[in-house]
Structures are given as structure tokens and as C-alpha cells.
Amino acid sequence: MSDRTLETGTFKRGPGGRPTREEAERRHRGLIEAAFRLFAEKGWEGTSIDEISRRAGVAKGFIYARYPDKAALFIAAVEWVMEDAMGTLQMSEPLPAPVEEGLYTFGKRMLDLVLRPEALAFFRLFIAEAPKFPQLGEHFVTRNKLLGLVAGVLSQFSELAPVMPDEARSRAEHFVILVVGIPRTLALLVGREPPEQEARRLRAAVRLFLDGCRAHSPDRT
């Protein structure tokens, strides 16, 4: 099957014969989704541009017009998953006002997101392939937008107002580790915990986090 054949049929084109902007965006999103799923299923070595082209239903020329090689497409696929997760959390409903209930609710939303099968597949893929892409690992550590989002959520509660310039990010890091660390490890190794056990673990993590914040508060006598 030729590359040209892959673009016929349902490819919507404008008056000049070129694909419409909406169609190009739709195809690009389909490309990124297909690439991520194949990388997650088969790993870096087991995935080819030819297979991504077939799975996405786009020509290889469509791919190479946007990404110079497979490495660039892999990085784009990983970043897309991260951005998609961010959007899901940002679109959620407002949190309850009491700080413990608010953080419990937010923590549950985080768990429901990071413990999805596709999110666990992403984490496995990221850990397995990160050594090949040092810039991707550095980006994840130093410019992780999730930590900014978590810091913003924490700042909504007056009890958690940061008192040092770097404290907001530090608190966000600790909150994510306490809430996500053990549940994700268990989900990767043996499967997700029963809902009631997961809820108890989350409640304990939130209380431990709040106890730590209060212990270091300048208002503590």
C-alpha cells in the first residue's frame, strides 16, 4: 500500500485540494495517539515509522513534515500524554473548601488519572526509554507542569500559603509522592488496590502531608 493511498477517502480537503486546518489537526492528534500506543505496546526498538503510519492512517510524508525522525515523534508522544493529563485535572470541578476534604478530593482525582491503564503504560514506557532521551528526563524533572498545577491547588488553601520562594514546588513534590507513589507502584506490580483500601491510604497520605505542613508553619507555637 502506497503512502498516497493512505490519505485518500476520508481525508477532508479545502477548495485548493489541501487538507483543511481542522483535518490536519485531527490527523496530527491521531498520529500522536497511534504513536504513543505503539511505543507503549512494543517499546522503542519494536516500533517503526512504517507501522505508525499504517496505524494512524497517514502518509509517512505527513509524519516527516512534522518530525525529523522517530526520536522526535517519541518525545512528542510522551509530552502529549503529559499535557493531556494536565488538561483533565484542570477541567475538574472546584474542590471542597475544608483543606483536608479538598486535598482528599484532589488526590482522588490524581489517582483516578495516573492509575488508568494507559497512564500506567505511559509510566512504564517513560522509565524504560528515558535513558535514551536525557533531555526528556531533564524536562520531566525540571519543567514538570504537573508540579505547577499541584502547587496552584495547594495555594488555594490559606493554611498552605507558602512562606519561602521554593516552598510551593517542594510541597507539591511531597504531596505527589505521598499520594501517588505507593498506589502507582502497587498498580504496576500487582494491580490497583480495592477502593476502600485505596481511600484509607489516600486519607492517611493527606493527613500526613498536612501534619508536616503545620509542623513547619511559622504560626506554630
Give the CA-trace dihedral at 212, 100, 122, 130, to 10 degrees. Answer: -20
What gap in Å lies between CA 217 and CA 157, rounded to an integer?
14
What's the pLDDT score for residue 15?
52
- Is residue 71 domain-resident? no
What's the pLDDT score for residue 41?
86
Question: Do 219 and 129 fall into the same domain?
Answer: yes
Cα–Cα distances (Å) from 116 to 82, 110, 183, 187, in that order, read 13, 10, 12, 9
What's the pLDDT score for residue 76?
87
- Is residue 72 domain-resident? no
How many domains is the chain partitioned into structurally?
2
Question: Do 89 and 197 fall into the same domain?
Answer: yes
For the entire predicted model, the pTM comes to: 0.75
* CATH assignment of the domain containing 40: 1.10.10.60
What's the pLDDT score for residue 3?
35
What's the pLDDT score for residue 162?
61
Question: Do 166 and 212 fall into the same domain?
Answer: yes
Contact 169, 144 (CB under 8 A): no
What's the pLDDT score for residue 56?
92
Question: Do 158 and 101 fall into the same domain?
Answer: yes
Phi-psi region of 104 (alpha: psi -120 to 50; beta: other; left: phi over 0): alpha
Contact 56, 31 (CB under 8 A): yes
The alpha-carbon radius of gyration of the chain (Å, integer) is: 21
Contact 99, 210 (CB under 8 A): yes
Buried/exposed 103-127: b ≥16 CB within 10 Å, e otherwise: bbbbbbbbbebbbeeebbbbbebbe
Cα–Cα distances (Å) from 192 to 77, 112, 178, 196, in that order, read 25, 10, 16, 11
Question: Do 176 and 148 fall into the same domain?
Answer: yes
Question: With 0-12 CB in 10 A as exposed, 13-18 as middle and 19+ as buried, what is 174?
Answer: middle
Query: HSE of 29 in the Cβ direction (CA atoms, 13 Å)?
Result: 7
The DSSP output letter for 19 is: B
- Is residue 105 domain-resident? yes
Question: With 0-12 CB in 10 A as exposed, 13-18 as middle and 19+ as buried, what is 71?
Answer: middle
What's the pLDDT score for residue 133?
77
**Cell representation of residue 114:** 495516573
Domain stops at, among 18, 35, 66: 66
What gap in Å lies between CA 71 and CA 132, rounded to an integer?
9
Domain with 109 in it? 77-221
Parts of the chain with a pLDDT under 70: 1-19, 91, 139-143, 161-163, 165, 216-221
